Amino acid sequence: MRQMFRQEAYIGTFWFHRGKPDAIAIPVPAILDQETFDRATVQATHNSVFHRGRPSREYLLTGLLRCRRCGHRCRTEPNSGHPRYICGNYERHPFRRFCEAPRISQRKLEETVWNAVWDVLSDSKMLYGLMRETHAAEEKTTIGSGRDALVKRIARAKRTAAAAFELMLDGDLEPEKRAAAKRAHLAAEAQRKEAEATLRAAQIAVLPSRDEVAEMCEEFVTGRDEITRFEAKREFLETVVDHVLVDAPDMEIHCRLEQPATAAGSEGPGKCNGALGPYAIFRAPISFVIKRRVA
């Protein structure tokens, strides 16, 4: 019930891509009028404060946090009023830990993550630098020499297909040879398509330009004031943060941002800044990593 009253769609606003740069508020028929909605919200808040059944503590990083030491997901523990995150690599009954990564105070960790993300999103120079760094590393590891091989294979298949096609046009060719040329042409075309699909599936993100990054930052900063409630904060983090690796005091915030659609549309095939030439016409989400220490 509480969940229901917190969704503004019940009073006539539906958020598309809420928290993302291209968020759109769509008016929908209101189920409750504003006054009823406000009263219900007050009641729900009252209930959550005075209802003593379930603990209602809100953890901002639930599900996003992983232990850097062992890779396990982290859990939360109330710790009698001083809540903490703990590596989830443990047994409950009897309590036994299999990873000794230090526990971290919820307040400290959430504050550090929140500030680190906003520091970067409000500084386009820093954001661009981090994107470049991660992009260069990804290109090296994910495709590396495999990409060159694919590009070569595509070129070879194109040559073979063209030669076979040439043969098929020869009017004096014997029927068996013509049939063989046709088969060779089909096979080469199939090889080309397969290699191109592999290249596409590798989804090398094309690095956005400095101007595009500056524009992204501007949009984030403009929307920042609206992100105040827990739900909004959580939604925002889910949009920007893929996961956080922590082994206190070290921490890596792995982020990924969807790229604005206009950026892809304005660039035609063959005009991208990636090393893929005419094949890099798609725009995968762009990732970057923020490294911080938890104070």
Residues present in the chain in total: 295
Cα distance between residue 156 and residue 186, in whole Å: 14
- Nearer Cβ to Zn ion, position 9 or 70? 70
- Nearer Cβ to Zn ion, position 65 or 121? 65
Smallest separation (angstroms) from Zn ion to the CB of 246: 9
- Nearer Cβ to Zn ion, position 166 or 250? 250
- Nearer Cβ to Zn ion, position 72 or 178? 72
Smallest separation (angstroms) from Zn ion to the CB of 245: 10
Smallest separation (angstroms) from Zn ion to the CB of 116: 21
Q: Which residues bind Zn ion (CB under 5 A)?
A: 67, 69-70, 72, 87, 89, 99, 101
- Nearer Cβ to Zn ion, position 61 or 67? 67
Long-range contacts of 39-45 (CB under 8 A, 24+ apart): 40/5, 41/5, 41/6, 44/1, 44/2, 44/5, 44/6
Smallest separation (angstroms) from Zn ion to the CB of 106: 17
- Nearer Cβ to Zn ion, position 87 or 109? 87
Smallest separation (angstroms) from Zn ion to the CB of 89: 5
SS (H, E, C) the chain: CHHHHHCHHHHCEEEECCCCCCCEEEECCCCCCHHHHHHHHHHHHHHHHHCCCCCCCCCCCCCCEEECCCCCEEEEECCCCCCEEEECCEECCCCEECCCCCCEEHHHHHHHHHHHHHHHHCCHHHHHHHHHHHHHHHHHHHHCHHHHHHHHHHHHHHHHHHHHHHHHHCCCCCHHHHHHHHHHHHHHHHHHHHHHHHHHHCCCCCCCCHHHHHHHHHHHHHHHHHCCCHHHHHHHHHHHEEEEEEECCEEEEEEEECCCHHHHHCCCCCCCCCCCHHHCCCCCCEEEEEEEECC
Smallest separation (angstroms) from Zn ion to the CB of 73: 9
- Nearer Cβ to Zn ion, position 69 or 200? 69
Smallest separation (angstroms) from Zn ion to the CB of 64: 15
